[in-house]
Amino acid sequence: MKVKKQHFRLAIGALAIAVVWSAWSYARGSGRPAAPASGPAGQRPWFGPEQSGEATAGARQIDPATIPPPPSVEGATVSASPRDPFVFGDEFRDVKEPVVPVGATPVVRSILFSSSRRLALIENRVVGVGDRIGNYKVIQIERDAVIFSTPTGERRRVTISGSLPSGAFR
113 belongs to a structural domain:
yes
Q: What is the pTM of this model?
A: 0.39
56 belongs to a structural domain:
no
Closest to 97 (Cα-Cα) out of 126, 128, 132: 132
Instruction: Quote the pLDDT of residue 133.
Output: 87
60 belongs to a structural domain:
no
Residue 167: which pLDDT band, with cuts at 50, 70 and 90?
Answer: low
| DSSP secondary structure code for residue 65 in this structure | G
150 belongs to a structural domain:
yes
What's the domain range around 126?
108-159
55 belongs to a structural domain:
no
Amino acid present at 80: A
86 belongs to a structural domain:
no
- Kindly report the CATH number assigned to the domain that includes residue 112: 2.30.30
Residue 3: which pLDDT band, with cuts at 50, 70 and 90?
Answer: confident
Residue 86: which pLDDT band, with cuts at 50, 70 and 90?
Answer: confident
CA 107, 110, 114, 117 dihedral sign is: negative
Average pLDDT, the chain: 77
**What's the total number of domains in the chain?**
1
Given a cut of 60, whether residue 15 has pLDDT beyond it is yes
87 belongs to a structural domain:
no
79 belongs to a structural domain:
no
Angle among Cα 159, 137, 104 to the nearest 5 degrees reads 55
- The average pLDDT across 32-40 equals 55
- The average pLDDT across 138-144 equals 92
